[in-house]
């Protein structure tokens, strides 16, 4: 099984394909994506812009398109490109559970220098995802509402153990220059610390 991540050639057909996948992605994460509620025309326009901006990629297995990646640039204050942020990664359901996602993440880190991403708690706090992130140099997380006012309503969700798996978390690589991004004004929590806290909560619930 040959897994690749490839640039998307600008075309209406490719924009429509990304639009369709984005619609399915929004359904799976209902209420948790900014693209929620966009019309078909708006989604196609967004897909075409992502392609032209160079932030859209196809995930392919043995040459067949099976998913997408949207990965915007990370720049410094002067606009210089530093690396990329993994915004969206989506794979068709029938291709999941085959280890494709892990291979894609490694390609993204090695080839495109992914510095961070965000995941919902129910995805982030699973053993296989955690092992993959830690193995690839990711260590710290912070709730999304700390840096994105759009998700401010998640503050109460994050603080509630009953709904911790519904909150978005940013996850960062901690090697190289990325350490400089981990500043005191952006509260960060060790993945291991969060897992330990959640484990303790789970134990309390079963006692």
pLDDT in tens, 120-154: 888 888 877 888 888 888 888 888 887 777 777 77
Q: Does residue 10 carry a pLDDT above 80?
A: yes
Please name the residues in contact with 144: beta carbons below 8 A apart, sequence gap of 6 or more: 118, 151, 154, 167, 168, 169, 170
Q: Give the pLDDT score at 72.
A: 92
Q: Does residue 92 carry a pLDDT above 80?
A: yes
Q: Does residue 178 carry a pLDDT above 70?
A: no
Q: Find the range with the poorest average confidence among 16-30, 131-145, 186-200.
A: 186-200
Residue 192 DSSP class: H
Q: Give the pLDDT score at 173.
A: 85
Burial of 80 (0-12, 13-18, 19+ CB in 10 A): exposed
Q: Give the pLDDT score at 121.
A: 83
Q: Does residue 23 carry a pLDDT above 60?
A: yes
- Going along the chain from its start, the domains and CATH numbers come out as 1-81+88-97 (3.40.630.30), 113-207 (no CATH)
């Amino acid at each position: 099984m040959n897994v690749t991540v490839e640039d998307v050639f600008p075309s209406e057909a490719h924009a429509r394909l990304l639009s369709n996948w984005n619609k399915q992605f929004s359904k799976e994460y209902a209420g948790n994506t900014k693209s929620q509620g966009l019309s078909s025309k708006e989604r196609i326009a967004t897909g075409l812009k992502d392609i032209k901006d160079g932030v859209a990629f196809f995930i392919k297995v043995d040459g067949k398109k099976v998913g997408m990646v949207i990965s915007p640039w990370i720049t410094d204050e002067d606009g210089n490109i530093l690396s990329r942020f993994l915004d969206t990664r989506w794979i068709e359901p029938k291709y999941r559970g085959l280890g494709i996602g892990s291979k894609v993440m490694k390609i993204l880190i090695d080839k495109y220098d992914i510095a961070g991403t965000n995941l919902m708690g129910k995805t982030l706090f699973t053993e296989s995802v955690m092992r993959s992130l830690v193995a690839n140099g990711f260590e710290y997380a912070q709730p999304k509402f700390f840096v994105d006012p759009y998700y401010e309503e998640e503050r109460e969700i994050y603080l509630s153990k009953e709904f911790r798996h519904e909150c978005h978390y940013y996850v960062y690589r901690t090697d190289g220059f990325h350490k400089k991004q981990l500043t005191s004004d952006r509260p960060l929590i060790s993945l291991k610390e969060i897992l330990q806290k959640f484990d303790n909560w789970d134990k309390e619930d079963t006692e």
